[in-house]
A and B are shown apart, each in its own frame.
Chain A
Amino acid sequence: MNWANKLQSIDRRIIYTILLIGLTIPLIWPIGIPLAVNDTTRAVYKIIEDLDPATDVVLLSFDYSPASAPDIHPSAVAIVEHLTKRGIKWVGVSFWPEGPQMSEGIMRNLETRGLKYGVDFIDLGFMAGAENAIAEFAQNSRVITTDVRGTHIDNLPLMNNITTMKDFAFVIGISAGDPGYNAFIRQAVDPMGVKFAAAIVTVSVPAAMPFYASGQLRGMLQGLRGAAEYESLTGVAGRGAAMMDAQSIGHLIIVAFIAVGNFAYFLSKKK
């Protein structure tokens, strides 16, 4: 059938336009499809809920760049919102060069809401060396002697009782690749028993599942969906939930493309 062949070789710009319109419409007019929460997300939530704001300090590692930010930055924001809501102090660090710029926006937002840098949170900035840097920081968390604002860590009360990564009550790696959760597991979790969870890009979720199953990862936020789930748990609305409807339509469109493409293929083969 000629039309089956024509259907298979449709102009790709029509495909792009369908996808673009399909994603834009639900962003402007959300549908409000309910979202169930995964156990992996709930595990992270529960750990933070059980932390003691008086004594516990959390380490957040911002290991992603603007390229993967849409998938993972909402998770970072959602986690910080939860920590803020519970009054838990946190220390930021990064093993990716773009990491400090990713956390800077979050910190700026917190400061406009009255939280104090140096008291409620600090950022130690970027440390080069990939897995070696993670190993070094795990063994000696005072190896970074100044924060991103040039203050010596001896003058930062948040770092008073911190010597190694084990002194943090909870470590969350927000990672888009390497160095990321794998390096933390190898250099901090297994050798030192650090309590660790990760917010990772959707693409990396299948490869991370064995580590969650083995307990090396205590919990996991799975990409943008993980952020949306976390927002529903904390009750703080954010970008994750707002984009889920559009994500749904996007998936439907791709599935439809696969189905139509294969349908046309099998019809043309039959001929």
Chain B
Amino acid sequence: MNISTSIWTWVMAACILAIFSFIYKENPIYRFAEHVFVGSTAGHAIGMAVGNIHRFGWVPLTTKNEWHFIIPAILGLMLYARFIKGYTWVSRWPIAYLVGNGVGLSLFTSLNSQAILQARATMIDLIVHDKAGKFLLNRTFDNFLLVFGVLIVLTYFIFSIPQNGPMRKVSQAGRWLMMLTFGVSFGNVVAGRISLLLGQISILLTRWLGVI
């Protein structure tokens, strides 16, 4: 064991342990650390935002005479009108701008990348042979499942017509496939959370306690 003598490492360890203390029970130390977490994260974000305003707005405005940057500066400041009683409507303009931006940017691109190209990727050979012409059962099964899997799950989400008879059975099959999908997602969520915890334990053991 080689415990660190750096004050900053001890500060780091104290921060981690203060948050971890919550798992025993809620306590004032955790509350304090939680508030510092919120403040530090928000402070960093504001600082980065100010840096961006300086780099992408103030510098071109003042050094290259790109006066049009006054417009987004005014729109940006209008956002803060929501804190002034009676003038919250003023903040609608920049919000409308950002919403229009988002909608215009993603209208075609989402449809292209997420609907059209994904649908195209689903148009695969149902019967698969290798280069020598031999029938491949496992690949054929996979491709059938891929193609019809997409169709049956999409059927589950059709709400504009009543789901009766064969459509209901197909929709139920889609539901079963979705259970598999969500099970896979859940397994990955567990794996992801474990690795986050591992990271913090690893930091404590290496940098603070010097055990590994």
Contact = CB atoms under 8 A, between A and B. Distances in A.
Asked if A pairs with B, the answer is yes
A239 B202 contact: yes
A68 B199 CA distance: 9
B195 interface: yes
Nearest to A150: B55
A254 B113 CA distance: 36
Looking at chain B's contact residues, the main secondary structure is helix
B194 A23 contact: yes
A28 B106 contact: no
A256 to B, nearest CB: 12
A267 B121 CA distance: 47
A1 to B, nearest CB: 29
B200 A190 contact: no
A250 B118 CA distance: 35
A88 to B, nearest CB: 27
B192 interface: yes
Contacts, number: 135
Nearest to B114: A186
A41 interface: no
Nearest to B109: A186
Interface stretch (B46-54, B86-94, B126-134, B161-169): B46-54
Interface string B179-212: 0010011001111101111111110010000011
A27 B191 contact: no
Contacts of A132: 101-102, 105
Nearest to A224: B195
B192 A97 contact: no
B195 A70 contact: yes
Interface residues of B, number: 45
A11 B106 CA distance: 48
Nearest to A250: B194
Contacts of A202: 188-189, 191-192, 195
B45 interface: yes
Contacts of B191: 202, 223-225, 247, 251
Interface string B115-149: 00110110000000000000000000000001000
B110 interface: yes
Given A13-B24, A203-B192, A251-B190, A187 B109 contact: yes
Give the secondary structure class of A's interface: helix
Given A67-B196, A186-B110, A210-B118, 8 more contacts: A28-B211, A71-B196, A71-B199, A125-B51, A190-B113, A191-B112, A224-B195, A242-B202
Given A13-B23, A71-B196, A28 B117 contact: no
Nearest to B146: A213
Interface in A182-203: 185-187, 189-191, 201-203
A81 B109 CA distance: 34
Given A16-B23, A27-B212, A206 B198 contact: no
Nearest to B186: A206
B3 to A, nearest CB: 15
Contacts of A210: 118, 121
B185 A27 contact: no
Interface in A148-206: 185-187, 189-191, 201-203, 205-206
A110 B212 CA distance: 23
